[in-house]
Structure 1
Amino acid sequence: MKYRRLGKTNLNVSEISLGTWQVGGTWGSGFNDAAAEKIINTAIDQGINFIDTADVYEAGLSEAAVGRVVRSRKEEVYVATKCGRQINPHTNENYQPKVLRKYVEDSLKNTGLECLDLIQLHCPPTEVFYRPEIFELFDRLKDEGKIKNLGISVEKIEEALKGIEYENVTTVQIIFNMFRQRPKELFFEQAAKRDIGVIVRVPLASGLLTGKFSAASTFDADDHRNFNRDGSHFDKGETFSGIPYEIGLEAVEELKALFPDHTNLAPIALRWILDHPEVGCVIPGASKMEHLLSNITASDLAPLIKEEHKKVDVIYDQLIRKHVHHSW
């Protein structure tokens, strides 16, 4: 495993880290504590030292599992969680400092940790990024020893650019992959100037970029890849990166032709992300052990050559760009 400095947090984190949205069970299939703990422990065994969770993942069960494992280990493992998505209705008006404070304190109780290495606003409405009082709260929480760093998780480039104007914002978690390339333009440039740690989520486009899906693939009724393709439950861009499923399959076939020696495209897709030096770490999820072990191999792959990057860009420009580039 290789490590990178995560911006002005100064944390030295594994470039392949772990996201825990579906740890311990695939999306919609329930949560299995034993499976979750096994995956998290194996991740740490393999050199992963940064784990991302959220209070809404399985109603706090994910946070609790992460906390149990991290507390049981001797290694220094950084825990990042998120707050705000419990707000219902999820509106700008309902984002209030006292509400967010309670969520942070609840996450401390849930994880059993004395201090959170990173707390992130969890994809709040765009208007929230224009309210300084929301961001000032986290300075007080830091002074109280409850958090070490503040980050933001965003849907849109606009939100990322506005969020990093606040001095206490240290990281941005954003969707970036072969099918969502806009962040590498202005945002990456500005993030580097402000020493912002970039955390990449949805790196495999909800599994599309593994190359294992087909037109005949089916998803459980409670799986967001089934019920949220049109964005009816949360931001459409979180599901298959916002592109129509059939278009994604067509683009994946082009990628398979470009990388014929890789029956599993996931390590290549992750390597493509790591080839961008502005990225601090990537947080693919893992519902099975083989997913975790496959993802970790990306850190050992050689960077893609320039010609391969150019051909990935051509696939994006021809098939994907019009569906996503100007929406997020």
Structure 2
Amino acid sequence: MERISQMKDSELSRRAFLQKSSIVAAGTVVGAISAKSVAAKQSSTSKILCYNPDMEYRRLGKTNLMVSAVCLGGHWKRVNVMEQDFDQNRKEVVDRCMEVGINYIDACCRKEVLAYSRALKGRRDKMYMALSYCGKETRNPEYRTAKKLLECFDALMKESGQDYTDIWRITCFEPGGKHTFNTSCELVAALEKAKKQGKARHIGISSHDRRWHKMMIEQFPQLEVILFPYTSMSKVAPRESLFDAIKKCDVGVFGIKPFAGNSLFKGDSSPGSPHAEEDDRKARLAIRYILCNRAITAPIPGLISRHQVDNMAKAVKERRELDVAEKAELEEASQKMWANLPANYQWLKDWQYV
């Protein structure tokens, strides 16, 4: 009996030892996995420009750039009460964008390229910036050859003091379908050459023509990014949607005119406007709605103050899906926006179904 008892004690001791060893080993493995997960997360975010944990980042199609869920549009609407020095205003807006994690600027004309190049002086590599010389690109019949497009591109690069642009996205004729196929070939040839020379790291086009966009990204797989209007009234078309081609071709998308040229708002965007709080809320609702479409990489509103930058960052942090009351509120505001579109923005109605 004594021997049996000793054997049982020995077995129990051995079992306890093995159990304890297993627990320690498991803890070591879990610890190692956790450490690897943290390291992987740090590695995955270390290459994101202006990374802020409170900002969302999305893959810009086949460029593989990770850009913020809201970016800075190049256009701005000045208001009379803005007495601040213009360059100082742009610098402060860019500063705040970098602080909240917004990491892309879309500069689509000479004035914008020069303004944002000055704002990024000494820190150009800290943000992504696109370039377009809209006045001297394919909208102008004098600039519809690869040679002329490259000449103007090089001239603006030199004038703005840049060695490269992250994205050269040519601003095309409206509607783009009015371009001949030969012009389409010329503009893609110009983009390709700039990319091969290392002057443009990525390439794309901007147009207000859905069918032409579809043709271009399917015909020319070299194109990596496209820009087109997408507002709080825009929806995915039930048939023959542009988004089908976008997904198939793995193209990044920036949504322009998210507020329909400010027609969504009651106020004038000026500081202290009696409608400021209501307009801020409308802006956030619109951005949240747009971001529900995962095929849109990022909307690119024009922003004129640090406050507006903060409001966009707040929109990204808020719950994504709108509840029933919010949907009704945005629908009412959007219908009024649609009814109040000025004559020069009526074309936006063509972008209700995309």
Shared fold, TM over 0.5: yes
2:194 aligned to which of 141, 154, 174: 141
Residue 171 (structure 1) aligned with residue 171 (structure 2): no
**Matched AA of 1:188:** F
| 2:34 aligned partner | none
| 2:350 aligned partner | 327
Distance in 2 between residues matched to 1:111 and 1:183, nearest whole Å: 40
The higher radius of gyration belongs to 2
Distance in 2 between residues matched to 1:176 and 1:202, nearest whole Å: 6
Q: Which runs of 5+ in 1 are unaligned?
A: 218-259
* TM-score, length-scaled by structure 2: 0.68
Residue 49 (structure 1) aligned with residue 49 (structure 2): no
Distance in 1 between residues matched to 2:245 and 2:326, nearest whole Å: 22
Distance in 2 between residues matched to 1:94 and 1:113, nearest whole Å: 22
Distance in 1 between residues matched to 2:157 and 2:171, nearest whole Å: 16
**Matched AA of 1:144:** Q
Report deviation, 1:108. 1.4
Aligned CA distance change for structure 1 residues 192 and 262 (closer, same or farther; 3 Å): same
Superposed CA deviations along residues 234-283 of structure 1, whole A, max 9, x for unmatched, are: xxxxxxxxxxxxxxxxxxxxxxxxxx998631011111101111111111
The correspondence of residues 190-229 of structure 1 with structure 2, limited to 5 A, is 190-212=245-267
Residue 128 (structure 1) aligned with residue 182 (structure 2): no
Q: Does the 8 Å CA contact 2:90/2:119 hold for their aligned counterparts?
A: no
1:116 aligned to which of 157, 165, 173: 165
SS of the residue 1:114 aligns to: coil
* TM-score, length-scaled by structure 1: 0.73
Q: Does the 8 Å CA contact 1:182/1:325 hold for their aligned counterparts?
A: no
Residue 98 (structure 1) aligned with residue 121 (structure 2): no
**Matched AA of 2:199:** K
| 1:83 aligned partner | 133
Q: Does the 8 Å CA contact 2:204/2:224 hold for their aligned counterparts?
A: yes
Q: Which runs of 5+ in 2 are unaligned?
A: 1-54, 270-276, 340-345
Q: Does the 8 Å CA contact 2:260/2:348 hold for their aligned counterparts?
A: no
Aligned CA distance change for structure 1 residues 316 and 113 (closer, same or farther; 3 Å): same
Q: Does the 8 Å CA contact 2:264/2:336 hold for their aligned counterparts?
A: no
**Matched AA of 1:10:** N
SS of the residue 2:293 aligns to: coil
Q: Does the 8 Å CA contact 1:212/1:264 hold for their aligned counterparts?
A: no
RCO higher in 1 or 2 (8 Å CA, sep ≥ 6)? 1
Aligned CA distance change for structure 1 residues 43 and 98 (closer, same or farther; 3 Å): same
Distance in 2 between residues matched to 1:53 and 1:263, nearest whole Å: 24
Q: Does the 8 Å CA contact 1:267/1:295 hold for their aligned counterparts?
A: yes
Report deviation, 1:182. 5.7
Q: Does the 8 Å CA contact 2:259/2:301 hold for their aligned counterparts?
A: yes
Report deviation, 1:93. 6.3
Query: How large is the Cα RMSD of the aligned pairs?
Result: 3.5
2:316 aligned to which of 295, 299, 303: 299
Report deviation, 1:293. 1.7
Alignment: residue pair count:
278
Q: Does the 8 Å CA contact 2:109/2:132 hold for their aligned counterparts?
A: yes
